[in-house]
Amino acid sequence: MKIVIVCDILGKKNNGTSIASYNLINSLKEKGHSVKVVCCDLDESENNENGQFIVLDKLNLGPLNKIVERNGVSLPLKDKKKIIEAIKGCDIVHVMLPFPLGITACRIAKRLGKPVTAGFHCQAELVSSHLGLMNCEPFNTHIYKQFYKHLYQYCDAVHYPTKFICDVFENIVGRTNHYIISNGVNKYMTYKPCEKPDDLKDKFIILSTGRLCKEKSHITLFEAVALSKHNSEIQLIIAGQGPLQKRLEKYAEENIVNPPIIKYFSRSEMADLVNYADLYVHPAKAELEGIACLEAVACGLVPVVSNSKKSATKDFAISDNNIFKCDDPKDLASKIDFWFENPKEKQIYKDKYIQFGERFNQEECMNRMEQMFIDVLESRVK
C-alpha cells in the first residue's frame, strides 16, 4: 500500500501522539509499505534522505509562538500544493489529529477520491484545560462535535486507542466505523534486571511521566510525596517537560526532602529507568490511553493511577492499592506508603503486571492497524 500519514504534531518523541505516530510509520515501513509523512517538525534522529517526510514550514502565530513552543510542539503552515503532491499518488490517507493540517489533508483527499482514516489522539480536555475549562462539560462536548464536524464524519474508519475514548466520543456524536486498537508497547520496553545508579541506590524511586501541565496533575504527586511518611527516602523522577516545571520545582524545594529529577529521557534511557524504579504513579486527570504507563507496567513496574472518570488509565489498576482518588494527595500518599512498606507484595504484583502487559504487544497492535487500512481499501472495491 501507498500510505500518507498526516501529523499536525510530530517532532521529538516527547509526547504520546508523536510516539504513536513514529511507531505506526516505522511499523508500516517494516511491513514493506510505501509511507509518506506530511508534517512540519521532525525529530533530529530521523533520516529524511529518501524524502519520506514532506516537511512544511512552521505556522507563525506571532506572540503565541512562545506558548506553542513552551508545550514542546510546532504547528504547520497549510501548504496545499505540497499536500496535494503527497496525496495524489497514494492509496489511503491517515490523519493523526483533528487539527488544521489534518482537516485540510482530509478535504483534499476526498476531492481526489482517496479513502481517509483518522486516529483519535486528542481528548477535548487537552484543549479546554488551556482555557481553564477542563471541567466544563458543555464546552468539552462542543469540542468533540467540532472534531466530528470538521474531520471524523468524513472518515472511512476511525482508530481509537481505547474503548474508553471510543465510548466518550460516540456517546456524543453517534456511532463511527471504529477500530479499537492500543498504540501498543514496543518490544524493547520489557522486563530486564537493571541496577540503580550509584547515587540513587538508597532511594525509593517513584517515576511519573507526561507533559508538565494542569491535566497531568503532577502537583498531586508532589503533594503526596510531601505527605508521605517516607518523604526523606523517596526520589521523584519525572520524565517530561512543560510549562509548569518551575512551579513544581519551587513546591518541591519547600516541601520535598530530595530534589526531584525532571528532564527528558531518551527511549533507551526510559527502558532502563522503568526497570530500576520502585513505583510508577500516573496522577493525570485526563488521559486518552496512557501509553507511558503501559510501557512501565509491561516491565513489571507497579503503578498507582488516578481514578479520574476522564482517564483511561484507571483500567490498569488490578487492586485497590493500584488506584487512588483523583486530586487527593492524602489518599495517594497512603498508597505510596503501602508499596514502600510491603516489598514482598510489590514483587507479587510486579509479576502480575508483566503478564498484564503482554496483551499490549505492539507488533500485534500494528498488525491490526495494517488490517484496518486493508479493510477500508477492500470495502471501496466491493
* Average pLDDT for 259-269: 91
Same fold, 2-184+361-381 and 198-360: yes
Q: Which of 35-44, 305-314, 345-354 has the lowest mean pLDDT?
A: 35-44
Fold of 2-184+361-381: Rossmann fold (3.40.50)
At residue 243, the pLDDT reads 87
Q: What are the Cα distances from residue 365, in Å, to 6, 183, 184, 330, 371?
A: 20, 7, 6, 37, 10
Q: Is the pLDDT of residue 250 over 60?
A: yes
CATH number attached to the domain at 198-360: 3.40.50.2000
The confidence score (pLDDT) of residue 135 equals: 86
For the chain, percent of residues with pLDDT exceeding 70 = 94
In the DSSP assignment, the letter for residue 191 is -
Neighbours of 97 (CB within 10 A): 21
* Contact indicator for 158, 324 with CB cutoff of 8 Å: no
Q: Is a pLDDT exceeding 60 seen at residue 67?
A: no
Which residue ranges make up each domain of the chain? 2-184+361-381, 198-360
Q: Report the pLDDT averaged over residues 200-218.
A: 92
The beta strands (E) that lie in 83-211 are given as 92-95, 116-119, 157-160, 178-180, 204-209
pLDDT at 45: 61
pLDDT tens-digit readout, 83-139? 999 999 999 999 999 999 999 999 999 999 999 999 999 999 988 887 888 889 999
pLDDT at residue 74, as a whole number: 62
> In the prediction, which pLDDT does 48 show?
74
Q: How high does pLDDT run on average in the chain? A: 91
Residue 237's DSSP bridge partners are 207, 261
Q: Is the pLDDT of residue 22 over 80?
A: yes
> Which pLDDT value is given to residue 61?
65
Contact between 8 and 378 under an 8 Å Cβ cutoff? The reply is: no
Comparing 250 with 188, which gets the higher pLDDT? 250
- For the stretch 336-357, pLDDT in tens is 999 999 999 999 999 999 999 9
First to last CA, the chain: 18
Q: What is the pLDDT of residue 308?
A: 95
Walk across the sheet containing 92-95 and list its strands.
Answer: 53-55, 34-39, 2-6, 92-95, 116-119, 157-160, 178-180
Q: Report the pLDDT averaged over residues 4-8.
A: 95
What contacts 173, CB < 8 A, 6 or more positions away?
A: 144, 145, 148, 152, 153
Evaluate if residue 236 carries a pLDDT over 60: yes
Say yes or no to pLDDT of 65 above 70. no
pTM for the structure as a whole: 0.89
Residue pair 369/24 in contact by the 8 Å Cβ criterion: yes
CB-based burial label for 309 (10 Å; 0-12, 13-18, 19+): exposed
Residue 14 pLDDT level (bands cut at 50, 70, 90):
low
Tell me the average pLDDT across 66-86: 74
Identify the pLDDT of residue 235. Answer: 98
DSSP letters spanning 304-352: EEE--TTBGGGGG--SGGGEE-TT-HHHHHHHHHHHHH-HHHHHHHHHH
- What's the DSSP call for residue 259? P
Asked if 207 and 279 count as a contact pair (C-beta separation under 8 A), the reply is yes
* Long-range Cβ contact pairs of 55-62 (< 8 A, separation 24 or more): 56/82, 56/101
